Amino acid sequence: MRELQLLIKPVSSACDLDCTYCFYKDEAANRAVGDHGKMSRETMRAVVDKALAASQTCVFGFQGGEPTLAGLSFFEDFTAYVEERKRPDQEAVYTIQTNGNRLDERWFEFLKEKNFLVGLSLDGVRKTHDENRKDRAGEGTFSRVFACAERMRELGIPFHVLCVLNAQTAPRIGAIYRFFMRKGFDHQQYIPCLDPLGTVRGEASFSLTPTMYGEALGTLFDLWCQDRMAGRPVYIRQFENYVAMLRGGQPEACSMYGRCSMQNVVESDGTVYPCDFYALDAWQMGNLKDPDTDFVKLQKIAAEEAGSKRHPFFKEADRRDDRCRTCRWYPLCRGGCRRDCFPEEGKMRNYYCETYQKFFAESIGRLEYMAGHLV
């Protein structure tokens, strides 16, 4: 395959924070083995060898838990092994999503040298961040993360701030956006919060309701439009994807594909899952330490041509809200994320369907203008 993207969990679900809304902590609690420990050198080499054997360009993404708990030496060994094993015509790309608490000057030097794209979790201003993102001692972590963002900006390390939309951040989204822009954090991603598995949506202290999400999307879009039209540089992943789609391009966010695709989530023991939101025992696809498991075979069992051998997760890969088939906004919405869909009276419904319908009805004119006029 031309490009292969991996999402690697080098320390499984281990983390030095205790965030109230952590979806991966929740998933780990619903597995027979929640924490597989640190990835061994044997497993790391199996991941690298099989990834390079299957692709021309390989994107090695690291997430957690908190991936930096693996230690800088793990990442130095990993990148050195990639350089040793890859062919001259192959390309290796690195990304990491981190809470920023352990990053220091040695880390910054490494990230800059290896050209990592960093996703830094920062839930807006101090109040909104510290309400949910506390360390193991129960203390807020805003000061450490903000200092990390400032230092990466100074050093020219490419990074996006990742802000989870929840009951605390969504009502204050205007202040959060303006704060990010004042500080020069102009590459932003806003991620809807997930409720815990098996619970009723909207009942947790941090839950993002459809009304909250709709109001936050509208406010963000207004501010983004104003700045983009004024020539101020700002990137918000969701809106940039919509513009690209209106221009005939393909979205790069999996929730905008309209169907579940193989995300190659690699746990620290080598187990592969199809999606970060479904890293559960029922959806295991194999283990890369098994000689008979590789990324080409995993792609085949995720694809339609596998027929009866297709993995169960992909049997209804494009099943979303049953109203999608007649919705005028489907070409942009694509039904949203599978985790937001649920059965109701024999039909499938998306929790945020009405939210997206209202958003697109109010924004389509400006989105089309941007698609036609802005670079």
Active site residues: 276
Burial of 225 from C-beta contacts in 10 A (0-12 / 13-18 / 19+): middle
134 DSSP β-pair partners: 140
Q: Which of 137, 73, 85 is nearest to 110 (CA)?
A: 73
- CB proximity list for 162: less than 8 A, separation 6 or greater: 97, 119, 120, 121, 122, 189, 191
For residues 274 and 314, is the Cβ–Cβ distance under 8 A? yes
Interatomic CA distance for residues 303 and 20, integer angstroms:
36
For residues 28 and 78, is the Cβ–Cβ distance under 8 A? no
Q: Which of 46, 53, 28 is nearest to 276 (CA)?
A: 28
DSSP-assigned states of every residue in 127-168:
HHHHHH-BBTTS-B-HHHHHHHHHHHHHHT--EEEEEEESTT
Interatomic CA distance for residues 93 and 55, integer angstroms:
12
Amino acid at 346: G
For residues 76 and 110, is the Cβ–Cβ distance under 8 A? yes
User: Could you report how far apart the first and last alpha carbons of the chain are, in Å?
Assistant: 30
Residue 181 has which token pair?
Answer: 């822009």
